[in-house]
Structure 1
Amino acid sequence: MTASARREAIAARFARAADRYDDHADVQRHAASTLAARIAALHLPPRPRILEIGCGTGLLTAALAARIPVADWTITDVAPDMIAATQRAVTDGRIRMSGAVRYACMDGEHPDASHLKRYDLVCSSLAVQWFDDIEAGLQRLAGCLAPGGALAISTLTANTFEEWRDAHRHFDLRAATPDYPAADTLARVLPGHAGGITIDPQRVRFSDGLAFVRSLKGIGATLPREGAQALRPLDFRRVLSRFTDEGAMVTYEIAYGLWLRTEGAS
């Protein structure tokens, strides 16, 4: 699958999940709230220029709007249905924003030149793990920062879903879940910028293996890693049973990255 076809497939899956996303998004809500609290501790200008990547249904948008009195917002997502969901939440008052608000359908991994050196804050919660090349993508997003600006993200890292992977390995199988970046790789992604990452593992128990799979489908996070082969029905049932018997517990290893564009950073 080409990179553009993969982005279209990701957008399509999230678009189909837009109406039910919030019902399955407890981890996503936690990550958005935690990231927003960290952003609120920054010394931003009185009316910051903010670019959000991967707004989804507006979880981070809402958490930030509750903490930042007024801003110039550019809210983006690769899936038009997700942008529409956030826009509806703003229109009907579920998200209360002050300042100018602009919405755009955009591939956050490849912002165009109009975004260069423009923003006081570029932020994204649990979206950049879908980039084809997260290192290059984060470097491009850092290039959108004005001098003194901040890049703030949450993303998933390598130990995410380890219990699910273990259930596959027990039968000499490989899970189709994406290969997330190692935390130490992310820590080195922006040389010349002040800051780094912290790790916050969240462990979630499901009623059984099928409930875990349905939770991923509920938020649209179903595109398999490149080259993954679908399991035979018998193997899928064996993995579900093993995962359930082991406690149906799964780890979301969330990394929070916060970097400041220092003077002279490229």
Structure 2
Amino acid sequence: MTVHEHQQQLAAHFSRHLDAYHQYADHQRGVADRLAQRLCQIITRPYHHALEIGCGSGFLTTALAQYWRQPRIARYGLNDLYQPPALNPPALETYLHIGDISKLLLPASLDLVLSASVFQWIEPLDELLRKLHQTMHAEGIFACSLYAGQHYQELRETLGIGLNYRAPQTLFDLFTQYFQPLWSDSVCSRIYFTDPHAVLTHIRDSGLHALSVSPTFSAWRQFRSRYARLCDEQGYPLTQDVFLFIGRRR
């Protein structure tokens, strides 16, 4: 399955299960909150034109509105593959920019581009970064979080599925080709479950059901057997690896 097909499946899943996603996607919510908090500490002046890429969950938009009580942005574009839920960013004017961001014509003179937990889906990422760099204002700010190197590595080891997550250093080197770094961080952690079925349930409920498969009985037995080898005294592990970056256009 191609990355584009994964994008389509994931977007369709979000549109059907947004309430459940909001209930279970605690890690994505926390990552978006941390990015918004750090961004609000760095940005001290009003901005004219912002574009949020992949706004569908609403986590980043909501977090920005919490940290910026008053509108700090004149125009705020909301991008996603499909119509997002009603969102209220800290802006005087809001508009929709619907579609695959890698194929859309980008708005001109953007001085703030931001995204949370989306860029791991975009290939080739360097082409999008080049397009953003070309269309952004000379002093524009770029802020994003995305999942990185070891994220969900257990699924690759047991089911042979998952995205080709880039290592944090590789992402840093890529981003700094276009943006002068103002802040970056990499956080890798593990959560534990009582059994392999609980792992898959968590992945489905937290929004990555589009990556999962419906295994046959024999494949399910093989999955459980392989995952059992990864189990330790804390339970069945699942790795979460995230990279965060804020930079100014070079």
Report the Cα offset of residue 38 of structure 1: 1.5
**2:182 aligned with 1:220:** no
Work out whether residues 155 and 161 of structure 2, in 8 Å CA contact, stay in contact via their aligned partners in 1: no
Structure 1's 103 and 182: CA in aligned 2 closer, same or farther, altered over 3 A? same
- For 1:111 and 1:188, locate their aligned partners in 2 and report how far apart those are by CA, in whole Å: 25
- For 1:123 and 1:4, locate their aligned partners in 2 and report how far apart those are by CA, in whole Å: 21
RMSD, matched Cα: 2.7
Structure 1's 48 and 40: CA in aligned 2 closer, same or farther, altered over 3 A? farther
Work out whether residues 154 and 227 of structure 2, in 8 Å CA contact, stay in contact via their aligned partners in 1: no
**2:79 aligned with 1:76:** yes
Report the Cα offset of residue 124 of structure 1: 0.5
Deviations 1:148-198 (A, max 9, x none): 1111110011111234445x2xxxxx5312221122221121415211742
SS of corresponding position for 2:45: coil
SS of corresponding position for 1:222: helix
Matches within 5 A, 1:227-266: 232-244=219-231, 247-262=235-250
Work out whether residues 14 and 221 of structure 1, in 8 Å CA contact, stay in contact via their aligned partners in 2: no
Structure 1's 4 and 120: CA in aligned 2 closer, same or farther, altered over 3 A? same
Corresponding residue for 2:141? 150
Corresponding residue for 2:23? 23
Match of 2:180 among 162, 173, 194: 194
- Larger strand proportion of the pair: 2
Report the Cα offset of residue 31 of structure 1: 0.3
SS of corresponding position for 2:63: helix
Gaps in structure 1 of 5+ consecutive residues: 169-173
Gaps in structure 2 of 5+ consecutive residues: none
- For 2:60 and 2:139, locate their aligned partners in 1 and report how far apart those are by CA, in whole Å: 22
Structure 1's 188 and 107: CA in aligned 2 closer, same or farther, altered over 3 A? same
- For 2:122 and 2:229, locate their aligned partners in 1 and report how far apart those are by CA, in whole Å: 31
Q: How many residues align?
A: 242
Structure 1's 134 and 98: CA in aligned 2 closer, same or farther, altered over 3 A? closer
Corresponding residue for 1:101? 94
Question: Given the two structures, how large is their TM-score scaled by the length of structure 1?
Answer: 0.79
Report the Cα offset of residue 2 of structure 1: 5.7
**2:58 aligned with 1:36:** no
**2:202 aligned with 1:209:** no
Work out whether residues 123 and 152 of structure 1, in 8 Å CA contact, stay in contact via their aligned partners in 2: yes
Structure 1's 158 and 110: CA in aligned 2 closer, same or farther, altered over 3 A? same
Structure 1's 11 and 96: CA in aligned 2 closer, same or farther, altered over 3 A? closer
Structure 1's 192 and 142: CA in aligned 2 closer, same or farther, altered over 3 A? closer
- For 1:111 and 1:192, locate their aligned partners in 2 and report how far apart those are by CA, in whole Å: 20
SS of corresponding position for 2:34: helix
Deviations 1:28-84 (A, max 9, x none): 01100110011112235324421111112211001111223212211111133xx02
Query: % of aligned pairs identical?
Result: 25
Matches within 5 A, 1:34-73: 34-68=34-68, 69-70=70-71, 71=73, 72-73=75-76
Corresponding residue for 2:103? 110
Match of 1:161 among 152, 163, 186: 152
Counterpart code for 2:220: P
Work out whether residues 196 and 224 of structure 2, in 8 Å CA contact, stay in contact via their aligned partners in 1: no
Work out whether residues 15 and 220 of structure 1, in 8 Å CA contact, stay in contact via their aligned partners in 2: no
